[in-house]
C-alpha cells in the first residue's frame, strides 16, 4: 500500500491519504484486446506475439523449453492508467525487461540524415523517392522501405540541399512507420492504438504547434502523398501524439544520430522524481530496462522524464508542458524533497533560515513560501525570478569560462539559495569544468607551466565542489544511475590525484594516503558498475574505460605503498618521516 499526501479543499498541505492498490487488468496487458485463454501466463494476453513481449528470450532461460517471464506485472488505477510493478524483489542492476522498438526514425529536429540508418546525409539520394540515404543498400533497407513508396508519390519531390538545417519532411517519417503497421501487422498497431496520446491537451495548450503539425504532417500525407482514404486525420494525429509523449530518444555516440523510438513496455513506466530504473539503449537500438536500486515485490517501477537536480517547480513545469500531467510523487509533495532541499532558498531577513513552500504543489505565482526560522514570507513568482536571473547569467560564455566570475556567482548564490539548491549545484558543476579547462590551459601541453606539477590547491577546490555536488546526487539520483556513476568517477579521481600530490610534496603521511586509496577503490568500483552498460562510442563509455584504468592504477599504487609501509615498519621508521614516492 502506498501513501499519498493530498491537498485539502482549503489548500492546506499535509493530509495523508491512502492510494488504493492498482487493479489487475482483465484484458491483454499491452493492447487492451480480449484475452485468449490459450496464452497462459502471469498476465492476460490476446495473442502469442503480445505474450512474447512478457517472455524472457529462450537463450536467457534456465531451460529454453520452459517459459519464463520478465519480473513485472501491469496494473491499473483510474488516475494514472496502466503502470508497471515488480513481480518479485529486484536487486540493483537487474534487467527488468528487454525490448525492440515498435517504430523508430529521425527526431523532428534532426539534421538531414539517411532514412535507413540515420547517419548524417552525405549527398546520396534514394533513386526512387529522392530522399537522403547513404548508399544503394540503405535505399533498399528495411526501415526506409516503410515510407519509400509513399514519398515517391509526391508530385514535387522534396529535394533537400541544405544539410545544415532540419527539414520538416522528417516529421512524417516515424509517424508513417507507426501507421504502416495497421495493414502490415495489426497486432503491433493495436499496441500503438492503446497507447495514450494527449491530443486534447496538445490542441488546447499549444495551438500553433498543433496547426504546424496539421499542415506539415496531416495535410502533407493526405493531400500531397495521396493518402486520402487510406489514413484518417485522427489516425495520423494519434500516431503523432503517441510519439510526442511516449518516444525514447535514440542517439548513438560513434555516429551523430538524432532519432527517437517507440518502445511498448517502456511506455508503461510512470515518471517519478526519484526513480528506481534506467533504460539502456543498445547498439542495435533494442533497449534494456534495469533497476538502479532495490525494488520490493509489488512496488511501482519508475523512470525519470526530467533532471532530478532541478527544483520542484521546474520539473513540474516540464512535466506539464511535455507530458501533460502534474507529478504527485513523494518528493514533489515534500517541501524538503526528501531532505535534499533542491528547491529551498535562504532567508535574507534572519540570515540563515530556510524558505520553503507552504504547499509545494501550488504553482500559482502568489503561492506562499515561508522562512522556517523567522516566518518571513515570499512567493513563488519572486523565487522564480531569482532562479531565472542566475540561469541567464550562467548561459553567458564569459561567465561560464571564467573561474573568477563563477566563484563570485557561487558566493552570491549560496547566500540566496539553500546549499543544495539546483542553482548552486549548477554553478558548482560549471566551476569544476572551468577549473579543469584552466589547469589544462596552464599545465597541459603547450601551456605556460607545462613543465610544472599541477598545484594541489586546484584539486582541493575541486574536491570541495565535487563532494557537495555528489551529496545532492546521492539523494535525488541514487543507486546505479548514470549521473551517480559519472559523479563518483569525477570525485574519486580528484581525491586520488589530490592525495598523490600532497603525499609527493610531503604534506600527507603514507598511512593516510593508503587509507585514502582504500576508500576510493570501492567508489571507483561502483562508478564502473553504474556505467557498465554504456554503449560504445558514447561519452559515458569513455568515462567507464577511464574509471577502469583509474581503478587499476589505484590497486597497483595500493600494493606498492603497502609494501613500502611494511618495509618501513620493519626497519623501525615512524610514519612521520616518510620519503616521497617517485613522481610519475
Ligand atoms: Zn494484445
Ligand atoms: Zn544509411
Ligand atoms: Zn526511397
Ligand atoms: Zn515528482
Ligand atoms: Zn528568516
The answer to whether 114 touches 106, Cβ cutoff 8 Å, is no
Q: CB neighbours (10 Å) of residue 570?
A: 8
What interhelical angle do 186-194 and 233-246 show, nearest 10? 70
What is the reported pLDDT for 14?
36
What is the reported pLDDT for 3?
37
Question: In which band, very low, low, confident or very high, does the pLDDT at 577 lie, cut at 50, 70 and 90?
Answer: very low
Confidence check: pLDDT of 36 > 70 = yes
What is the reported pLDDT for 7?
34
**Which ligand sits nearest to residue 106's alpha carbon?**
2
What is the reported pLDDT for 580?
43
What is the reported pLDDT for 18?
53
Ligand 3 geometric centre to CA of 286 (Å): 24
Confidence check: pLDDT of 9 > 90 = no
Q: Where are the alpha helices (DSSP H) in 477-538?
A: 482-504, 510-530
- Beta-ladder partners of 19: 2
Ligand 5 geometric centre to CA of 406 (Å): 27
**Which ligand sits nearest to residue 329's alpha carbon?**
4
Ligand 1 geometric centre to CA of 180 (Å): 18
Tell me how far apart the alpha carbons of residues 59 and 286 are, in angstroms, rounded to a whole number.
16
Confidence check: pLDDT of 576 > 90 = no
Tell me how far apart the alpha carbons of residues 301 and 447 are, in angstroms, rounded to a whole number.
50
Ligand 5 geometric centre to CA of 184 (Å): 65
Confidence check: pLDDT of 578 > 60 = no
According to DSSP, residue 579 is labeled: P
Ligand 1 geometric centre to CA of 478 (Å): 35
For residue range 472-529, list pLDDT tens digits in order: 999 999 999 999 999 999 999 999 999 999 999 999 999 999 999 999 999 999 999 9
Sheet of strand 95-99, all strands in order from the earlier edge strand to the far edge: 95-99, 287-291, 277-281
What is the reported pLDDT for 66?
93
**Which ligand sits nearest to residue 190's alpha carbon?**
1
Confidence check: pLDDT of 581 > 60 = no
Phi and psi based region of residue 81 (left: phi greater than 0; alpha: psi -120 to 50; beta: remaining): left
Three-state DSSP class for residue 309: coil
End-to-end CA distance of the chain: 58
Ligand 1 geometric centre to CA of 23 (Å): 18
Q: CB neighbours (10 Å) of residue 356?
A: 19
Question: Which residues sit with Cβ closer than 5 angstroms to ligand 4, an ion?
Answer: 273, 327, 329, 332
Ligand 4 geometric centre to CA of 331 (Å): 6
Q: CB neighbours (10 Å) of residue 271?
A: 17
**Which ligand sits nearest to residue 113's alpha carbon?**
2
Ligand 1 geometric centre to CA of 275 (Å): 28
For residue range 422-478, list pLDDT tens digits in order: 999 999 999 999 999 999 998 888 888 888 888 899 999 999 999 999 999 999 999
Superfamily, domain 2-100+264-304: SET domain (2.170.270.10)
Ligand 4 geometric centre to CA of 574 (Å): 55
Ligand 3 geometric centre to CA of 202 (Å): 32
Ligand 5 geometric centre to CA of 352 (Å): 7
For residue range 290-310, list pLDDT tens digits in order: 999 999 999 999 999 999 999
Confidence check: pLDDT of 24 > 80 = yes
- Beta-ladder partners of 103: 262
Confidence check: pLDDT of 91 > 50 = yes
For residue range 38-72, list pLDDT tens digits in order: 999 999 999 999 999 999 999 899 998 999 999 99
Q: Are strands 103-106 and 95-99 parallel, antiparallel or unpaired?
A: unpaired
Ligand 1 geometric centre to CA of 31 (Å): 4
Tell me how far apart the alpha carbons of residues 577 and 528 are, in angstroms, rounded to a whole number.
36
For residue range 344-376, list pLDDT tens digits in order: 999 999 988 999 999 999 999 999 999 999 999
Model pTM above 0.85 = yes
**159-163, 270-274, 384-388: segment of lowest average pLDDT:** 159-163
**Which ligand sits nearest to residue 271's alpha carbon?**
4
- Beta-ladder partners of 354: 346
Q: Which of 377, 385, 381, 346 has the alpha carbon at shortest distance from 362?
A: 381
For residue range 76-86, list pLDDT tens digits in order: 998 888 999 99
Tell me how far apart the alpha carbons of residues 387 and 571 are, in angstroms, rounded to a whole number.
60
Three-state DSSP class for residue 355: strand
Ligand 1 geometric centre to CA of 234 (Å): 21
What is the reported pLDDT for 575?
44
Ligand 3 geometric centre to CA of 114 (Å): 10
Ligand 5 geometric centre to CA of 465 (Å): 26
Ligand 2 geometric centre to CA of 237 (Å): 28
Following CA atoms 105, 107, 108, 112 in sequence, which dihedral angle do they give, to the nearest 10 degrees? -80
Question: Which residues sit with Cβ closer than 5 angstroms to ligand 3, an ion?
Answer: 126, 128-129, 148
User: Averaged over 397-415, what is the pLDDT?
Assistant: 95
Ligand 1 geometric centre to CA of 32 (Å): 6
Tell me how far apart the alpha carbons of residues 583 and 502 are, in angstroms, rounded to a whole number.
12
In the chain, domain spans: 2-100+264-304, 103-262
Sheet of strand 103-106, all strands in order from the earlier edge strand to the far edge: 103-106, 259-262, 248-250
Ligand 4 geometric centre to CA of 435 (Å): 33
Confidence check: pLDDT of 582 > 80 = no
Question: In which band, very low, low, confident or very high, does the pLDDT at 161 lie, cut at 50, 70 and 90?
Answer: confident
Confidence check: pLDDT of 122 > 80 = yes
**Which ligand sits nearest to residue 144's alpha carbon?**
3
Residue 252: CA atoms inside 13 Å, Cβ hemisphere, count? 17
What is the reported pLDDT for 572?
53
Mean pLDDT of the chain: 91
**Which ligand sits nearest to residue 187's alpha carbon?**
1
What is the reported pLDDT for 351?
87
Sheet of strand 81-86, all strands in order from the earlier edge strand to the far edge: 23-24, 72-77, 81-86
Ligand 2 geometric centre to CA of 249 (Å): 19
Amino acid at each position: 500500500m502506498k501513501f499519498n499526501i493530498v491537498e485539502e479543499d482549503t489548500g492546506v498541505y499535509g493530509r495523508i491519504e491512502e492510494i488504493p492498490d492498482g487493479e489487475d487488468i482483465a484484458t491483454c496487458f499491452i493492447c487492451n484486446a480480449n484475452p485468449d485463454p490459450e496464452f497462459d501466463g502471469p498476465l492476460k494476453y490476446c495473442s502469442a506475439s503480445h505474450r512474447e513481449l512478457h517472455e524472457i528470450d529462450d537463450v536467457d532461460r534456465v531451460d529454453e523449453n520452459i517459459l519464463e517471464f520478465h519480473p513485472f506485472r501491469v496494473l491499473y488505477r483510474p488516475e494514472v492508467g496502466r503502470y508497471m510493478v515488480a513481480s518479485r524483489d529486484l536487486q540493483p542492476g537487474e534487467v527488468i525487461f528487454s525490448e525492440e522498438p515498435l517504430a523508430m526514425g529521425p527526431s523532428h529536429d534532426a539534421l538531414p540524415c539517411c532514412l535507413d540508418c540515420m547517419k548524417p546525409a552525405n549527398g546520396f539520394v534514394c533513386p526512387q523517392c529522392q530522399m537522403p540515404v547513404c548508399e544503394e543498400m540503405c535505399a533498399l533497407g528495411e526501415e526506409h522501405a516503410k515510407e519509400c513508396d509513399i514519398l515517391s508519390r509526391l508530385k514535387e519531390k522534396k529535394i533537400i540541399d541544405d544539410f545544415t538545417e532540419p527539414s520538416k519532411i522528417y516529421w512524417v517519417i516515424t509517424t508513417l512507420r507507426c501507421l504502416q503497421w495497421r495493414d502490415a501487422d495489426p497486432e503491433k498497431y493495436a499496441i500503438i492504438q492503446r497507447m495514450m496520446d494527449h491530443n486534447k491537451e496538445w490542441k488546447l495548450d499549444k495551438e500553433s504547434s498543433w496547426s504546424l503539425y496539421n499542415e506539415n504532417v496531416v495535410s502533407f500525407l493526405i493531400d500531397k502523398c495521396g493518402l486520402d482514404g487510406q489514413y484518417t486525420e485522427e489516425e495520423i494525429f494519434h500516431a503523432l501524439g503517441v510519439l510526442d509523449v511516449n518516444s525514447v530518444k535514440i542517439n548513438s555516440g560513434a555516429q551523430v544520430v538524432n532519432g527517437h523510438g517507440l518502445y511498448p513496455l517502456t511506455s508503461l513506466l510512470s515518471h517519478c522524481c526519484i526513480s528506481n530504473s534506467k533504460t539502456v539503449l543498445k547498439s542495435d537500438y533494442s533497449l534494456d530496462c534495469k533497476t538502479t536500486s532495490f525494488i520490493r515485490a509489488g512496488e511501482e517501477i519508475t523512470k525519470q522524464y526530467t533532471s532530478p537536480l532541478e527544483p520542484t517547480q521546474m520539473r513540474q513545469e516540464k512535466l506539464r508542458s511535455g507530458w501533460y500531467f502534474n507529478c504527485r510523487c513523494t518528493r514533489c509533495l515534500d517541501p524538503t524533497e526528501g531532505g535534499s532541499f533542491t528547491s529551498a532558498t535562504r532567508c535574507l531577513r534572519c540570515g540563515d533560515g530556510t524558505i520553503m513552500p507552504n504547499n509545494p504543489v501550488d504553482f500559482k505565482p502568489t503561492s506562499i513560501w515561508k522562512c522556517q526560522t523567522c516566518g518571513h514570507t515570499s512567493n513563488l513568482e519572486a523565487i522564480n525570478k531569482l532562479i531565472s536571473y542566475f540561469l541567464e547569467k550562467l548561459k553567458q560564455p564569459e561567465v561560464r569560462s571564467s573561474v573568477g566570475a563563477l566563484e563570485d556567482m557561487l558566493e552570491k548564490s549560496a547566500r540566496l539559495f539553500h546549499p543544495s539548491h539546483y542553482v548552486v549545484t549548477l554553478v558548482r558543476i560549471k566551476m569544476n569544468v572551468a577549473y579543469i579547462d584552466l589547469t589544462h590551459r596552464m599545465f597541459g601541453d603547450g601551456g605556460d607551466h607545462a613543465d610544472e606539477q599541477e598545484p594541489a590547491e586546484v584539486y582541493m577546490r575541486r574536491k570541495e565542489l565535487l563532494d557537495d555536488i555528489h551529496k545532492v546526487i546521492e539523494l535525488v539520483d541514487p543507486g546505479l544511475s548514470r549521473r551517480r556513476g559519472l559523479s563518483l568517477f569525477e570525485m574519486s579521481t580528484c581525491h586520488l590525484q589530490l592525495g598523490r600530490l600532497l603525499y609527493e610534496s610531503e604534506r600527507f603521511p603514507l598511512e593516510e594516503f593508503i587509507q585514502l586509496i582504500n576508500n576510493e577503490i570501492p567508489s571507483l568500483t561502483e562508478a564502473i558498475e553504474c556505467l557498465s552498460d554504456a554503449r560504445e562510442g558514447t561519452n559515458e563509455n569513455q568515462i567507464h574505460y577511464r574509471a577502469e584504468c583509474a581503478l587499476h592504477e589505484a590497486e597497483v599504487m595500493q600494493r606498492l605503498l603497502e609494501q613500502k609501509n611494511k618495509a618501513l615498519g620493519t626497519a623501525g621508521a615512524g610514519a612521520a618521516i616518510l620519503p616521497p614516492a617517485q613522481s610519475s
